[in-house]
Amino acid sequence: MVAAPAWVAVSAEAKARTAEDLPTTLEALAAPVDLSPPQALAAMADRGRGQTSRDAFRDSSSGNPTAASPDPATAAAEQRVATTCSGVVKGPQINGRLTVEDLCDLWQPPYKDRADAVVSAFTLNDAFEQRFGRAMCLTSGYRNLEEQAALRITRGGLAAPPGTSNHGWGLAIDFCPSTYTGTAGAWLKKNGPTYGWDNPSWARPGGVGPYEPWHWEFVAGVKALAGAAQGGGES
């Protein structure tokens, strides 16, 4: 069997968003979706047990969490995360059903994301604050199944069906226009990937999905999802 191309898993959410047949409220809440965690994503969580979220982030991005001492920005991010949660990534996770222990507060209430994603997001936000003197403005982070279903009903194809969005994995952030446009937006596009976050190709002009410059994802986590799909695992 020929392996699925790399873009298949990454664009799954985009394909879901472009579906024309929108569900009723009951259908959205009761849709029979497979909510099991992809094997690769569960493996990332297993590696994170007992680690701080800073160490888990290093492990997922560099493969060697003990290779170097933490840089000041990462250390500051860890300290700030530690004030709101343990910073430990546990597993397995279920899309839209992450536990309190697996979630950390972002800098703007009430938004949260998965612990390792939050640490990298804090390093990005710290750098943004140093450049612009203000925090990045957020409009969304982790969404549970009910929140995703409600968004699907109100926004139609712009929202993925519940159980399929990367917001449900705690791996996505939506930014305000003041963050993703103008000089700030140009800075974000240039520097976001350095801190582990990117606007996915499907959401860019000419991509396979709707144009969503506000939607950014934690690259290491999304790559784990794509790897699971390519390897025949769950997606």
Partners of 216 in beta bridges: 173
Model pLDDT, residue 11: 45
Q: What CATH code is assigned to 34-230?
A: 3.30.1380.10
Q: What is the DSSP letter of 142?
A: -
**What pLDDT digit, counting tens, does each position of 126-147 carry?**
999 999 999 999 999 999 999 9
pLDDT of the residue at 104: 93
pLDDT of residue 175: 98
Q: What is the pLDDT of residue 198?
A: 98
Q: What are the residue ranges spanned by the domains of the chain?
A: 34-230
Low-confidence ranges of the chain (pLDDT < 70): 1-89, 91, 228-235
The whole-model pTM stands at 0.68
pLDDT for 46: 45
Q: Name the one residue in this structure whose structure tokens are 């997922």.
A: 60
CA 71 → CA 68, 130, 145, distances in Å?
9, 15, 36
Query: Is the Cβ–Cβ distance between 70 and 54 less than 8 Å?
Result: yes
Summarised one tens digit per residue, pLDDT across range 108-120 is 999 999 988 999 9
Three-class secondary structure of residue 161 per DSSP: coil
